[in-house]
Structure 1
Amino acid sequence: MKTKKHGLSIGIERVDNDLFLSLKAIGKLNHQDYEIITPMLESALAEIKQPKIKALIDGTELDGWEPRAAWDDFKIGLKHGNEFEKIAIYGNKNWLKLTAKIGSWFVSGEVEYFDNYESALSRVRT
């Protein structure tokens, strides 16, 4: 039997009202992945007034979303879209470029795609 890995790992760093998220997505994400990650994100944001979120998303091992997981991702964007200042999506798949463009419709900050990790990291750290 072949094992299929999937899920999200998250790093959260807070400095005053700034929140830096680093996310790594692996495999095809499902609803259960978001049931784990969403409370962590909500908890980190709950204690910050007017948070400014900068996020680095590593999608190099992402294979996509199951429909309900895509909906979960969309709901996070709708709820917290005004709190995102910058999102850098690092990947190696052309469809992630389109994901970055679509994502920019739902958040107030900048969303950019990078095929170089250091460039993506530099973008959200400035």
Structure 2
Amino acid sequence: MIQIITDKYEDTVAIKMSGKLTQEDYQVVVPLLENKIDQYGKINIYCEVIEVSTMKPGAIWEDLKFDAKHFKNFNRVAIVGERGWLNWFSTFAKPFTTAEIKYYDNYEKAQAMDWVVRGKEEYETQH
């Protein structure tokens, strides 16, 4: 399941991924992301990943189509979750996007949101 946590920030969307990811999940979130991209050109993503068990083939296809189409439309991506495979995934994803990608542990949710919304320079002057 993909849940939209918030889209209150102009050029940032926050989502939570958990359980089984299906094609229907992407059909809900992709229009919101594409709308933000149409408005701002480049957007930021905050993504909490909680015990994703499976990704159905239709979901994988939707993800690949979206990623290929929007390769250059992301500024910053914060991935929040358990270190294990997420740290590997954030490193693996870097060649497939122009975005700056950072991994955060579950206890760093506030820092992750702050970084993805404000950007590196503003975040570092605040901390």
Coarse TM-score class (shorter-chain normalised): 0.7 to 0.9
Deviation, 1:39, is: 2.1
**In 1, Cα distance between equivalents of 2:92 and 2:86:** 10
* Unaligned 5+ runs, structure 2: 120-127
Contact 2:37/2:73, CA 8 A, preserved across alignment: no
Structure in which a larger fraction of residues adopt strand: 1
The match for 2:35 is 43
Deviation, 1:100, is: 1.1
Contact 2:22/2:58, CA 8 A, preserved across alignment: yes
Deviation, 1:82, is: 0.5
Q: How many residues align?
A: 115
The match for 1:74 is 64
Deviation, 1:58, is: 0.4
8, 12, 29: which one pairs with 2:2? 8
The match for 2:25 is 33
**In 1, Cα distance between equivalents of 2:30 and 2:103:** 23
The match for 2:91 is 101
1:60 has 2:50 as partner? yes
86, 104, 107: which one pairs with 1:114? 104
**In 2, Cα distance between equivalents of 1:114 and 1:28:** 22
Secondary structure of 1:82 counterpart: coil
1:21 has 2:13 as partner? yes
Deviation, 1:75, is: 1.8
Question: What residue identity is the alignment partner of 2:88?
Answer: L
* Unaligned 5+ runs, structure 1: 1-6
Aligned Cα RMSD in Å? 1.9
Contact 1:60/1:93, CA 8 A, preserved across alignment: no
